[in-house]
Amino acid sequence: MQSRKIRDKIANALKGHDADYVEIRLEESEVTGIVYRGGRLEEVGRTSSLGGNVRALVKGGWGFVSFNHVEELRHHAELAVKQARLVGKEDTKFSRTEPVAEIVAAETRKDPTAVPLASKKQLLDEYNAIILSTPKIQTSNISYHDSQKKVALATSEGTYIEQSRVDLNLRLSAIASGDDTVQQASISMGSRGDFAAIETLHDQVKEIARRAVRLLAAPQARGGEYTVVLNPILAGVFAHEAFGHLSEADHVYENRRLQDLMVLGRRFGRKHLNIVDGAAVPGLRGSYKYDDEGTPGTMTYLIREGVLESRLHSRETAAKMREKPTGNARALNYRFSPIVRMTNTFIEPGATSFEDMLSDIKEGIYAKDWYGGTTSLEMFTFSAGEAYMIRNGKVAELLRPVVLTGNVFTTLRNIDAIGNDLEMNQGGGCGKGGQAPLPVSNGSPHIRIRRCLVGGG
Amino acid sequence: MDEILSRAKKVAGQAEVFQVSSKRTPVNFEANRLKQIQTKESSSTVLRLIKDGRIGFAQVNGFVHPEALVNIALETCQFGMLAKFDFPGPRAYPHIDIFDAQTEEVTIDDMVELGQQLIAAVRQHTPDIVCEATVSKGIASVRMMNSEGGKASYSKSFFDIGLEGVLVQDQDMLFVGDSQSSCHPVHDFKAVAEEVTNQLELAKRNVSVSTKQMPVIFTPRGVASSLIAPLVAAFNGKLVLDGASPLKDKRGEQFFDKRFCLWDDATLPYQVASCPCDDEGMPSQRTTLVDHGVVSQFLYDLQTAALANTQSTGNGSRRGGLPTPSPSSIVIGEGDVYFWDMVRDMRQGLVIDQLMGAEQGNILNGDFSGNVLLGYKVERGEITGRVKNTIVAGNVYEVLSQLEAVGQEARWVGGLLLTPCLYCPSLSVATRSG
């Protein structure tokens, strides 16, 4: 994409439509992927993309056209407006943002896209060798991807923003196999443009390989309610699933009864609970200067001192709920319309040390790291990659991975201790509305939850 | 395409070009109202080549410079894996009906009306429900050719209709939903509406269960959300080859219940997962995975099959990278017991229609554990209401090795799975006390 030429072309295509709002997004990206399975280097490949979309708003109705043929911009814009017109039957409500013209360069330290393929391969070879040389390990699974992406956004309000970003993601799994059982342990790492973030994982890789083997002999938890302590990584996933998604205003803005449930000022947790989301933190995977509607990224307190303070908005949800846009409209890529998404979501640190948190637990579960998590807004699940029994205030035997579940109206209140050791996890990706994995980060200190429901045999 | 192939042939021993272009028109409803009409066009070109025995790969979405594409693939070649196969030469492909010209002819107005009718039917049953719905039509065209003379092309039409509804009452949320997919246009909203109103009817009242082992009936949607992910992984030839599948040494063994039959079928007419050949140009087929409980076959692409000394099953599928074994339509064979007879047979148990988060544990070992997003309690042979704040846990292989019964009425779920209800004698159920 050559800036000047493209910019003129977009400006031209935006002109003279009978619509309340039109935006054009063009995107150029290049992704490099390296995949290992066991001793085999399975895939080395590169995918480059050039595409875009036009989104138009007429009387509250949307038209959206995505394409790879960027030559016919004007034609695409006309089609989007025509489609919006078929839908629109009411008044458009869409928050204004100040038009801006800005070019935002990618933030990189050790730029992964500049690291030679041979060096990437050598590093992954080292990690793979560590896993495969561990006794009783059956196989490994390594998936590395880095991408550079440049997105140009132009709106009928006069905004023109070009943003570039570099993202990388690495997942390593060690798989052990015994008598009729297969167990695995993984780590997932990500970074916004710094290859150094994944260069020194040797000890952690050794640890997952050993843990996968230990899991072969580990017992399964008994299903039921437990006092659980979550480590910062899993507690971050918990914050994302338990409350983050429910804070996304697109779930509530058209649902009167949900609005009554999610009324600002409602208490969800105790006074020590603060949950924040925001793109306006430098260098994290969910960080950016402007969202995909040209609204500047912000920091938003979802819960302050246990009380619902605000929620995440696009320009449409903000206008319809008469709240301020928060810069959370994001699209996975040019094939999708922006929707309300989280960015970097975390529980603010409290005062309790990890030891104190454990000390009065007679029988409980210490759950660490993640397999995944999902939510239906009211109820959610999150699964731990690593779990231990807690007995008489001490971390005891290793358990097979556990799935935990909760209900937003009770589980947040049951958090009775928040640690002093906030950590952000960069390894996750979020899915919503078929758009996955979107780079986000989650974080938290250790937290303790009373009466958390755990699945088991 | 020809130019890319001829350039690639000059620098590499073997080459293959794969192209797919698609156009999809989704009509989206939000909060019971028409919200957005979309047109999504995309085109991708993929080059795979084999040079000095190693595989190179490059993909371009959008405009293609043939020379640049060849160069990128060449660059990745020096690090690529050793090719154990040759690209397939000319093949005879089965004729499979996957294109209906009528699908493209459905107008936007018709699609809008269909969505509105569906939402109206559901709201007639439950006026306070808030629905999201999508009605979507599309066409995908696939072409491929390789240096060994292999050549294939086909077009597929598809049409989807789906609805998800949420009913909020005080502090309680109920989620219901269903969808239907076909290569034919769907003109009738009734099948989806009926399934959704049936869910609403059964979930009218909330009831509680206790923490213990109890029998469970998985509905077709319950099978899809609980049991399928671990099974699909276990029959992936790649995981079998790596020794990461619990079925790795079970071929020919009676590992599942005698009533359990499972197969993969890319040849079913007008099904959205059907096609005449896979993404490597291998003819589509029906592959028996479990025959009356006996592990029969695994799913393979060309490379994995060669490494495992066997034949490709025509399951090489591209998901943005090199082809990898992946199922088409998964089918579980029907049994002989009606759903309501299973219910009548239970003293106390659970019907699971939607399990949330079940795919996020150690699926390699067949373990599943999830929150019962939609499920019903059975007492003395009758469904008494909806169960929530409940988690179940089990192992696919234990469940499927000892079934109480297999349902008589198979149903499509999401266009990719055709399954009856499965009745399992005992599963661990845990619930919130008070």
Give per-residue pLDDT as tens, B22-57. Answer: 999 999 999 999 999 999 999 999 999 999 999 999
Gap between the Cα atoms of A370 and A385, Å rounded: 5
- What torsion, rounded to 10 degrees, do the Cα atoms A109, A111, A112, A118 define? -120
Residue of B76, B75, B69, B92 whose CA lies nearest to B1: B69
Six token digits for residue A100: 């801006």
Alpha-helical runs (H) found in B243-307: 302-307
Helix or strand run (H / E) with residue B199: helix B190-202
| CATH 3.30.2290.10 intervals, chain B | 2-200
CATH superfamily of B2-200: PmbA/TldD superfamily (3.30.2290.10)
Nearest CB partner across the interface for B360, out of A261, A377, A403: A403
Gap between the Cα atoms of A365 and A231, Å rounded: 11
Task: Say which DSSP state B372 is in.
Answer: E
Q: What number is the average pLDDT over the span B156-177? A: 96
Domain ranges of chain A: 3-215, 224-454
The pLDDT score that the predictor gives to residue B433 is: 76
In this prediction, residue B151 has a pLDDT band, given cuts at 50, 70 and 90, of very high
Size of interface A-B (CB pairs under 8 A): 263
Residues A84, B430: C-beta atoms closer than 8 Å: no
Residues A181, B246: C-beta atoms closer than 8 Å: yes
**Beta A344-347 vs A441-444: how paired, if at all?**
parallel
Give helix B66-77 / helix B2-11 axis angle, nearest 10°. Answer: 40
Residues B393, A223: C-beta atoms closer than 8 Å: yes
Q: What number is the average pLDDT over the span B200-209? A: 96
Mutation target vs B (from A142, A450, A453; most B CBs, 10 A cutoff): A453
The pLDDT score that the predictor gives to residue A6 is: 81
DSSP A353-407: -HHHHHHT-SEEEEEES-SEEEE-SSEEEEE-SEEEEEETTEEEEEE---EEEEE
Provide the percentage of residues in chain B whose pLDDT is more than 70.
Answer: 100
Residues of A in contact with B71 (CB under 8 A): none
Mutation target vs A (from B16, B23, B32, B61; most A CBs, 10 A cutoff): B61
3-state class (DSSP) for residue B232: helix
Which residue of A lies nearest to B320 if distances are taken between CA atoms? A47
User: Within a 10 A sphere around the Cβ of B90, how many other Cβ atoms?
Assistant: 10
Cβ-based neighbours of B84, under 8 Å, separated by 6 or more: B303, B306, B307
* Contact predicate A237/A370, CB 8 Å: yes
Gap between the Cα atoms of A113 and A185, Å rounded: 28
Strands (E) located in A296-337? 299-304, 307-308, 329-330
The pLDDT score that the predictor gives to residue B432 is: 86
Residues of B in contact with A381 (CB under 8 A): 356-357, 360, 370-371, 391
Mutation target vs A (from B360, B426, B433; most A CBs, 10 A cutoff): B360
Give helix A73-87 / helix A3-14 axis angle, nearest 10°. Answer: 40
The letter for the amino acid at A375 is T
3-state class (DSSP) for residue A290: strand
Helix or strand run (H / E) with residue B198: helix B190-202
Provide the percentage of residues in chain B whose pLDDT is more than 90.
Answer: 96
Residue of A441, A251, A248, A253 whose CA lies nearest to A328: A248
Gap between the Cα atoms of A431 and B317, Å rounded: 22
Q: What is the CA radius of gyration of chain B?
A: 24
Instruction: Write down the ipTM of this complex.
Output: 0.95
Residue of A118, A139, A105 whose CA lies nearest to A44: A118
Helix or strand run (H / E) with residue A82: helix A73-87
Partner A contacted by B75 (CB < 8 A):
yes
Mean of per-residue pLDDT scores for chain A: 95
User: Within a 10 A sphere around the Cβ of B122, how many other Cβ atoms?
Assistant: 27
The pLDDT score that the predictor gives to residue A180 is: 81
Strands (E) located in A234-350? 275-278, 299-304, 307-308, 329-330, 339-340, 344-347
3-state class (DSSP) for residue B392: strand
Gap between the Cα atoms of A313 and B217, Å rounded: 41
Residues of chain A scoring pLDDT < 50: none
* Contact predicate A56/A84, CB 8 Å: yes
Residue B332 in this model has a pLDDT that exceeds 70:
yes
The pLDDT score that the predictor gives to residue B434 is: 60
Partner A contacted by B288 (CB < 8 A):
no
User: Within a 10 A sphere around the Cβ of A389, how many other Cβ atoms?
Assistant: 18
Beta bridge partners of A435: A432
Residues B168, A50: C-beta atoms closer than 8 Å: no
Q: What number is the average pLDDT over the span B352-358? A: 95
* Contact predicate B240/B246, CB 8 Å: no
Q: What number is the average pLDDT over the span B358-377? A: 93
Residues B321, A66: C-beta atoms closer than 8 Å: no
Residues A41, B243: C-beta atoms closer than 8 Å: no
Give A166-201 pLDDT, tens digit per residue: 999 999 999 999 888 999 999 999 999 999 999 999
Residue B337 in this model has a pLDDT that exceeds 90:
yes
The pLDDT score that the predictor gives to residue A372 is: 86
The letter for the amino acid at B220 is P
Give A108-132 pLDDT, tens digit per residue: 999 999 999 999 999 999 999 999 9
Residue B216 in this model has a pLDDT that exceeds 70:
yes
Residue of A407, A113, A435 whose CA lies nearest to A242: A407
CATH number given to A3-215: 3.30.2290.10
The pLDDT score that the predictor gives to residue A1 is: 59
Give helix B108-125 / helix A73-87 axis angle, nearest 10°. Answer: 40
Nearest CB partner across the interface for A376, out of B38, B245, B373: B373
Cβ-based neighbours of A175, under 8 Å, separated by 6 or more: A137, A138, A139, A140, A141, A182, A183, A184, A212, B242, B244, B364
Q: What number is the average pLDDT over the span B62-68? A: 94
Residues of B in contact with A64 (CB under 8 A): 36-40
Residue that is written with structure tokens 């939000």 in the block = B30
Residues B360, A372: C-beta atoms closer than 8 Å: yes
Give the dihedral sign, CA B179/B25/B185/B181.
negative
Cβ-based neighbours of B65, under 8 Å, separated by 6 or more: none
Tallying the residues shown for chain A, one arrives at 457
* Contact predicate A403/B393, CB 8 Å: yes
Gap between the Cα atoms of B300 and B307, Å rounded: 10
